[in-house]
Chain A
Amino acid sequence: MWLPLLGLVIGILLGLLTDWRIPSEYANYLSIAVLAAFDTLIGGIRAHLQNIYDEHVFVSGFFFNIILATSLAFLGVHLGVDLYLAAVFAFGVRLFQNIAVIRRILLTKWLESRQKNRL
């Protein structure tokens, strides 16, 4: 159980310790990628709670979403259309929906456990 947490900590440490810089115009792509990663992670948690979690879908979705969002932003910059807004919007909406679903599931679980305790 603590192995993913260890991975997270190591990743954060690596990110803080790396010293190579990327040009400021690519910072946008990075933020989009972070957003996509978050979205996939939250989606994975929700799927896990709903018992429809599939490891392959999760891993492929994680990387594919990151690459897709970044390439979409790249395309938008080169076409002169702010396509990264579409990515931000889509991921943002899904993020909120997923979080809402997780909240509801947790809430019903908690209420059920309380009723069980009472009984």
Chain B
Amino acid sequence: MKMNGSHVILSFVCLVLGFMLAFSYQITKKETTNRQLERQWNKEYEYRQQLIEQQEQNKKLQAELFKKQQRVREMEKELASEEQIYFNLVEDAERLRMYLGKVKVKGKGVEVTLSDASYIPSEANATNYIVHEQHVFQVVNELLIAGASAISINGQRLSHRSYIVCNGPVIEIDGTQHPAPFVIQAIGDPNVLIAALTIAGGVKDQLTSDHIVVDITEKSEITMEPLMQK
């Protein structure tokens, strides 16, 4: 009977031990799965964090890129406007050079030929029947006033510093002598120029009354050589 009692106590001890063992085993197992889940979750979180960081960086870089592109565009615009300015300057310079007679010019215009009178009555003074430099002056001034861009006399370009002097039977333009007849070519709007010359009581009438033969022709194209540098 005593043997039996000790066995009961021993089996109770074994029961407690078995229970504890199994319970511990179960808990450990669950915990490991839990831990695995947690680890997975942590990893996921970490990756997500990295992704967010990356995206933020991308955003920042993109903003920078946009800013830089904006700057490039501004610079391009600036360059374009500068180019426009330079282009305008070149155009201006070209036009000014044209006015100064430094380049060859070409365009529509008129040609005025002043010739001495072909018939001189014997009792009259011959000087009243030939072309004088003031007649040339009159024509040139009228043409300039009417808006001619370039003028030449007998093929010689006139500049803003040109002079015309009477030198006996010939006239001298910038030191070059020219005999009559004088062919004055002017580049400009032919209609305006011709109208200016032939206005009633104008240059043509005055010249005609001075017994000069005036011949005005419209030219579709006149080419003028540049002024000789001296």
Chain A residues within 8 Å of B, Cβ to Cβ? 1, 3-16, 18, 21-22, 24, 27, 30-31, 33-34, 37-38, 41, 55, 58-59, 62
Q: Is the CB of A10 within 8 A of B20?
A: no
Instruction: Please tell me if the beta carbons of A11 and B28 are within 8 angstroms of each other in the complex.
Output: no
> Can you spell out 11 A-B residue pairs with CB atoms less than 8 angstroms apart?
A4-B14, A8-B14, A11-B15, A12-B21, A13-B18, A15-B20, A15-B23, A16-B26, A21-B27, A33-B20, A37-B17
B12 at interface by CB-CB < 8 Å: yes
* CB nearest to B16 among chain A residues: A11
Whole-angstrom distance between the Cβ of A82 and the nearest chain B Cβ = 19
- Tell me if B15 and A7 are in contact (CB < 8 A): yes
When distances are taken between beta carbons in the complex, the residues of chain B under 8 Å from A62 are: 13, 16
Determine whether the beta carbon of B6 is less than 8 Å from that of A55: yes
Per the bound structure, the CA–CA distance linking A5 and B12 in Å amounts to 10
Does A12 lie within 8 Å of B22, measured CB to CB? yes
Interface string of B33-64 (1 = CB under 8 A from A): 01000000000000000000000000000000
Q: Provided the pairs A3-B7, A59-B13 are in contact, do residues A27 and B22 lie with their beta carbons within 8 angstroms?
A: no
**A27 and B20 in contact, given A7-B12, A62-B13 (Cβ under 8 angstroms):** no
Which of B14, B22, B26, B28 is most buried by chain A, counting CB atoms within 10 A of its CB?
A: B14
CB neighbours (8 Å) of B13 from chain A are 4, 7, 41, 58-59, 62
Contact with B19, one of A15, A41, A55 (Cβ below 8 angstroms): A15
Q: When the two chains form their complex, are residues A7 and B18 in contact, meaning their CB atoms are under 8 A apart?
A: yes
Interface residues of B (CB under 8 A from A): 6-28, 30-31, 34
Q: Which residue of A lies closest to B7 (CB)?
A: A3
B6 nearest CB neighbor, chain A only: A55
A59 to B15, CA, bound (A): 13
Does the CB pair B24–A30 fall under 8 Å?
yes
A15-B23, A15-B26, A31-B24 known; A8 and B6 CB under 8 Å?
Answer: no
Known: A14-B22, A30-B20. 13 other contacts (CB 8 A): A4-B13, A5-B14, A7-B13, A8-B11, A8-B15, A10-B18, A11-B17, A11-B20, A14-B19, A15-B23, A16-B26, A27-B28, A33-B20
